[in-house]
């Protein structure tokens, strides 16, 4: 009788112990899955914060209720100062980047709205543009930078100087003409978008040929593309930048700088151009993070951010 009781107790213990062992294994699996999910979530949160920090330091500061100026029409690119084959390479590479952003193919015989100039004397070239090609310089009310700032930069022997001419538009097209007179008007504003926006109508990027430092044509094209298609800040402290960017071409030098647009650069442009006309500046960081996540998914990457050393 005692032996039978002991047998029953042993059987009961075995039955109770076995499910516990299964439960422990299940729990370990769940813990492993949870830790993986936590790691992914922390990585995404890190991506979000790093991208926001870098955007804040590398892009032009605007009011949160301003829209970021950008192109809405196809780029018609002209490259001056290089050999014809080199100029064609640079223009084609910039155009390819714009096509990835959805700007479309330019029409045959279009008027240049994106100009890249490589010249030995940027200051002399700027003076000639002012006197003979004012259409490539624009007038202050419709330009994104003051005349004195451009003159100071060309006198200061900056390796690159750039400016853009902007219009004011709404869903019906240009709102103000060249005299500043109202042509059409729209009141279709919302909490996330302005009733008007500032499309770029022209961007000029001028390089000092004496300071290229051995930069490749690909680096020059991608560097110019960021200035034409985006709105980078004119003064960037790259010592505080965590992500590699082609914007550091002259700060780091061509040998150290990226050889092509980086994941950050592409996410910045994709995020900016994913927003509709009039979208407030405050929406850009989230759009950039979303663009980076989409890149990771398309590349089947783990979305780990590659920080600079």
What would the mean pLDDT of 149-159 be, rounded to a whole number? 95
Q: Token pair 């813990």 is at which residue?
A: 31
pLDDT confidence of residue 289:
82
Considering the entire predicted model, what is its pTM? Answer: 0.77
Q: Are 71 and 200 in contact (CB under 8 A)?
A: yes
Q: How far apart are the C-alpha atoms of 300 and 160, rounded to whole Å?
A: 36
Q: How far apart are the C-alpha atoms of 114 and 185, rounded to whole Å?
A: 28
Domain ranges of the chain: 58-299
Are β-strands 160-166 and 200-208 bridged in parallel, bridged antiparallel, or unpaired? antiparallel
What would the mean pLDDT of 15-43 be, rounded to a whole number? 48
Question: What's the pLDDT tens digit per position in 93-113?
Answer: 999 999 999 999 999 999 999
User: Between these two residues, 279 and 10, which has the higher pLDDT value?
Assistant: 279
Q: How far apart are the C-alpha atoms of 255 and 72, rounded to whole Å?
A: 34
- Range list of H helices, 59-83: none
pLDDT confidence of residue 201:
94
Q: What is the DSSP letter of 70?
A: B
Least confident of 4-18, 56-70, 165-179, 264-278: 4-18
Q: How far apart are the C-alpha atoms of 177 and 180, rounded to whole Å?
A: 5
Hey, how many other C-beta atoms are within 10 angstroms of the C-beta on 139?
A: 11
What are the residues whose beta carbons fall under 8 Å from the beta carbon of 68, sequence distance 6 or more?
Answer: 59, 60, 62, 231, 272, 275, 279, 281, 284
pLDDT confidence of residue 116:
98
What would the mean pLDDT of 273-296 be, rounded to a whole number? 82
User: Between these two residues, 57 and 103, which has the higher pLDDT value?
Assistant: 103
């Amino acid at each position: 009788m005692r032996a039978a009781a002991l047998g029953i107790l042993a059987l009961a213990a075995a039955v109770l112990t076995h499910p516990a062992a299964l439960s422990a294994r299940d729990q370990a699996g769940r813990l492993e899955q949870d830790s993986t999910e936590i790691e992914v979530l922390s990585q995404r949160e890190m991506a979000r914060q790093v991208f926001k920090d870098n955007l804040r330091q590398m892009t032009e500061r605007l009011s949160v209720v301003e829209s970021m100026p950008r192109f809405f029409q196809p780029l018609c690119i002209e490259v001056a100062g290089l050999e014809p084959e080199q100029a064609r390479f640079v223009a084609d590479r910039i155009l390819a980047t714009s096509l990835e952003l959805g700007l479309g193919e330019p029409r045959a015989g279009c008027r240049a709205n994106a100009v890249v100039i490589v010249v030995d004397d940027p200051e002399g070239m700027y003076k000639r543009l002012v006197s003979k090609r004012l259409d490539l310089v624009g007038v202050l009310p419709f330009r994104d930078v003051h005349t004195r700032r451009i003159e100071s930069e060309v006198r200061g022997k900056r390796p690159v100087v750039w400016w853009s001419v902007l219009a004011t538009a709404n869903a019906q097209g240009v709102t103000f003409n060249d005299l500043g007179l109202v042509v059409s008007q729209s009141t279709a504003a919302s909490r996330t978008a302005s009733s008007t926006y500032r499309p770029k109508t022209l961007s000029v990027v001028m390089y000092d040929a004496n300071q290229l430092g051995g930069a490749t044509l690909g680096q020059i094209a991608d560097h110019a593309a960021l200035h034409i298609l985006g709105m980078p800040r004119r003064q960037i402290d790259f010592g505080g930048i965590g992500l590699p960017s082609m914007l550091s071409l002259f700060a780091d030098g061509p040998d150290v700088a990226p050889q092509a647009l980086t994941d950050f650069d592409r996410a910045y442009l994709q995020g900016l151009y994913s927003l509709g006309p009039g979208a407030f500046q405050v929406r850009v960081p989230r759009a950039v993070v979303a663009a980076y996540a989409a890149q990771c998914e398309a590349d089947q990457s783990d979305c780990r951010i590659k920080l600079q050393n």
